[in-house]
Amino acid sequence: MRWKFREHDSPPLPGDLSGLAAGLDISPRLARFLWQRGLRSREDLAAFLNPSLRGLAPLDAWPGLRKAASLLAEGLMQGKKLCIWGDYDVDGISATALMLEFLRAHGLDAARRIPDRLSEGYGLNIQGIAAAARQGAEILLTVDCGIADNEAAAYAKSLGMTVIITDHHLPSGALPEADAIVNPRLLPCPCPALSGVGVAFFLAAALNAELAAVGKDRVDVRELLDLVALGTLADVVDLNGQNRILVKNGLLQVACGARVGLAALKASCNFSPGAALGAGQVVFALTPRINAAGRLGSGETALDLFLTRDRARAAELAAELSRLNSERREEENRIYKEAAVQAEEQAGAGRLGLVLFAPDWHPGVVGIVAARIAEKLHRPTVVLSAIEGKLKGSGRSVPGFDLHDAFQSCSGLLLGYGGHKAAAGLSMRAELLDAFREEFHAAVQNRLGKTPPEAECCIDGELSFAEADFHFLKELEMLQPFGMGNDEPLFASPPVTVKKLHTRNGFTALELQEENGGPTRTAKIWRRPPGLQNAVAGKRIRIAYTPWIDRYNGVASVELRLKDWKEL
């Protein structure tokens, strides 16, 4: 990778930062770190370090929110039956659970529908709406979907339903026919990067106010923030501003273990039900299990886990999700090996946009494979499988490339598409695969140039092993949650020598010693690159690394996550 040092792109430091740091009770080193990340005023620093719920935007700042809540409240008070239509990924499932839990706390009921990935696909569909109508649904509320489902929304309206769409994806053309639409990407608002469950949370807050106005007791919506944290982290949205507030406080709710199903899920991942989890632990341990339900089974399994209050039932559901996740890993690895061969061939032939296909690849796994290949080869990647005579799949982008916009430029070849800049789905007729490969490659070339973009990592500065002590690492933990828009801290080491390498439990550990008798630290790397032993053993290198405090088995130690290295 190309190492890009943030300090080279930052304005000069305003002299001594010690006064600013002292006022915030942080070290000057942390103040410098935050300055280089764009936080320049005391107010910005304080808001970032203390993301209180008081910092959430007022409800009137979200276009369409009050209207949607008013329509919902009016219909529910009239006794109309509500159907909540979600999605089979973590964001959609958590958004559906949030609305159902909120209504249950108010003594209200609603039907729900999580579509089947294989037989129905993403979003609204006419058959499902017809089924909901037969069951008496008079109000249709979408969460995390619906903005591109014009035909299905029009059908729901033709049946006399009140249609309320809440989503955070981009439309594929004209907006659907609906009585109310809440989507932070459509009009200026406090957080265009809000997730689907984030939109649902603000809708619940607005509905809370509407119901209070007609005499119902308010529900404490803070108890729903664990669901908001899960869906927001899983959907890889920007973790600044409103999202930072929601996730930071949501992780506190995750830690308390009040939700029976979530406590069982944590236990299945070998966490204590009351353990405080970082964003990375949620993303790499909890959310894959939740996603596995919609990928290989039914999203209803994960939804039931969130809603159950029976501990024995929660343990059964958590075990089922873990089993499905193991199946998902096996299938993912099989598909990845096959897809990687195609990807290398296409990249070797000069393809900048990779379009990979095999008829037997599981459609529930292709998105993960696309993400792994896009990361490895640093090219926008689409992975497709065959379903009922059509090709369906998912794409993943690279920094600086708008995947949704590229699909829009290829829309003449597509049956449908939807998503956002970093990730999107699509479907097409099988005979148009070669034509799509050409158009997608051209779309990438037009936007990124004729050579593939160079992979890079942003370095926050040089940090010696001695400086990466417990005091500074505890300060860095204040910056959680990490994710898009708030990357994990990444530092460059001074020159070090690789003393030993050994592999165990799926990772490779490098024993590194600083020069001139400096301290020795262990750096871990997962998915060990081929030839690593010969590449670095006994050599003098610099590493790009993230230091962290490992508290495994209750014993705290400093460890390093290895991102990249350069031989000296």
Residues 472-499 have pLDDT tens digits of: 999 999 999 999 899 999 999 999 999 9
CA–CA distances in Å: residue 552 to residues 256, 270, 467, 502:
19, 11, 22, 19
Tokens of 194: 């809000």
Dihedral sign, Cα of residue 359, residue 295, residue 336, residue 380: positive
Instruction: Answer whether residue 555 shows pLDDT above 70.
Output: yes
In angstroms, the CA 166 to CA 185 distance is 11
- pLDDT tens digits along 152-208: 999 999 999 999 999 999 998 899 999 999 999 999 999 999 999 999 999 999 999
- Give me the helix-helix angle, 287-296 and 90-105, nearest 10°: 100
Q: Token pair of 43, please?
A: 């107010």
For residue 552, pLDDT over 70 is answered with no
> Which residue ranges make up each domain of the chain?
2-50+457-567, 59-218, 350-448
What is the model's pLDDT at position 153?
97
Buried b (16+ CB within 10 A) or exposed e, 454-463: eeeeebbbeb
Tokens of 254: 């995750």
pLDDT at 452: 77
Q: 491: which residues sit within 8 A by CB, 6+ positions away? A: 459, 460, 461, 462, 463, 468, 544, 545, 546, 547
**Cβ pair 198, 228 in contact under 8 A:** yes
Residue 332 CB neighbours (<10 A): 20
48 to 53, 54, 111, 479, 481: CA distances (angstroms): 12, 13, 39, 8, 11
Alpha-carbon distance of 549 to 230, in angstroms, equals 23
Q: What is the CATH number of domain 59-218?
A: 3.90.1640.30
| Residue 544, token pair as written in the block | 């790009």
Higher pLDDT, 57 or 41: 57
* C-beta of residue 37 within 8 angstroms of C-beta of residue 44: no
- CA dist., res. 474 & res. 465, Å (int): 15
Backbone φ, ψ for residue 399 (5° rounding):
-55, 135
DSSP states along 62-131 = STTHHHHHHHHHHHHHTT--EEEE--SSHHHHHHHHHHHHHHHHTT---EEE---TTTT-SS--HHHHHH
Kindly state the tokens that stand for 454.
């160079």
User: 350-448: which CATH number, 3.90.320.10, 3.30.300.20, 3.50.50.60, 3.10.310.30?
Assistant: 3.10.310.30
Mean pLDDT of 431-441: 96
Rounded mean pLDDT of 327-351?
Answer: 95
Q: How far is CA 371 from CA 6, 365, 367, in A?
A: 26, 10, 6
**pLDDT value for 397:** 94
483: left (phi over 0), alpha (psi -120 to 50) or beta: left
Does residue 15 surpass a pLDDT of 90?
Answer: no
DSSP code per residue over 437-491: HHHHHHHHHHHH-SSPPPPEEEE--B--TTTS-HHHHHHHHTTPPPBTTBPPP-E
Report, as an integer, the average pLDDT of 543-549.
93
Per-residue 3-state assignment (H helix, E strand, C coil) for 221-235:
HHHHHHHHHHHHHHC
Give residue for tokens 């499905």.
Answer: 324
Which of 517, 522, 515 is closest to 501 using CA atoms? 522
The whole-angstrom separation of Cα 53 and Cα 375 is: 35
Second CATH level (architecture) for the domain 2-50+457-567: Beta Barrel (2.40)
- Indicate the residue type of 155: Y
Element (H, E) at 256: helix 241-256
Query: To the nearest whole number, what is the mean pLDDT of the chain?
Result: 93
- 499 or 528, greater pLDDT: 499
Task: Supply the pLDDT for residue 528.
Answer: 66
More confident residue, 557 or 289: 289
Cβ neighbors of 206 (< 8 A, separation 6 or more) are 59, 62, 65, 66, 68, 69
Q: Which amino acid is at 325?
A: N
Above 90 in pLDDT, residue 506? no
Taking only Cα atoms into account, the Rg of the chain, rounded to an integer number of angstroms, comes to 24
Determine the distance from the C-alpha atom of residue 120 to the mean position of all C-alpha atoms in its chain, rounded to a whole number.
23
Q: Cβ(492)–Cβ(544) under 8 Å?
A: yes
* pLDDT at position 248 over 90: yes
SS3 336: helix
Cα–Cα distance for residue pair 98/95, rounded to 1 Å: 5
In the numeric block, which tokens belong to residue 250? 């949501």
**pLDDT (tens digit, 9 = 90+) per residue, 128-139?**
999 999 999 999
Mean pLDDT is highest, among 178-187, 398-407, 450-459, for 178-187
Note the pLDDT tens digit of each residue in 350-398.
999 999 999 999 999 999 999 999 999 999 999 999 988 899 999 999 9
As a whole number of angstroms, the distance between CA 315 and CA 298 comes to: 17
